Amino acid sequence: QVLLVESGGGLVQVGGSLRLSCAASGRTFSSGAMGWFRRAPGKEREFVAAIRWPGGGIYYSDSVKGRFTISRDNTKNTVYLQMNSLAPEDTAVYYCAAAAAFRRVLSIDGSYDYWGQGTQVTVSS
């Protein structure tokens, strides 16, 4: 079992920045990934970014590429999402997810085995 807890959400103005954290505890796996998804009001949950382990490969959706950065701190079992140049369309509940084994495709929610409760990000115009 893996417990994921997101933090760092809040209210920010257009053009501002936020840094989300996802702290993981419990069982570890020899290979897998951690990712970020988001769900905006009235829309389906969409992929944001992911990072593999142990290789560290990083993937972004086109909508956030160049603005968001995913990273990890292995000593703290924590994954971060640095969000810059935020726009109103980034307003959503952001979810951290963990894949417990190798998955070829990380941009679909079915590839992940564990999910956090989410943290709200609101970008005001």
Dihedral sign for Cα atoms in the order 118, 4, 101, 35: positive
Average pLDDT for 30-50:
95
pLDDT beyond 80 at 28? no
pLDDT digits (tens, 9 = 90+) for 48-83: 999 999 899 999 999 999 999 999 998 888 999 999
Per-residue confidence at 102, pLDDT binned at 50, 70, 90? very high
* Position 29 pLDDT exceeds 80: no
Paired strand residues for 71: 80
Percent of the chain at pLDDT > 70 equals 100
Are the C-beta atoms of 36 and 78 separated by less than 8 Å? no
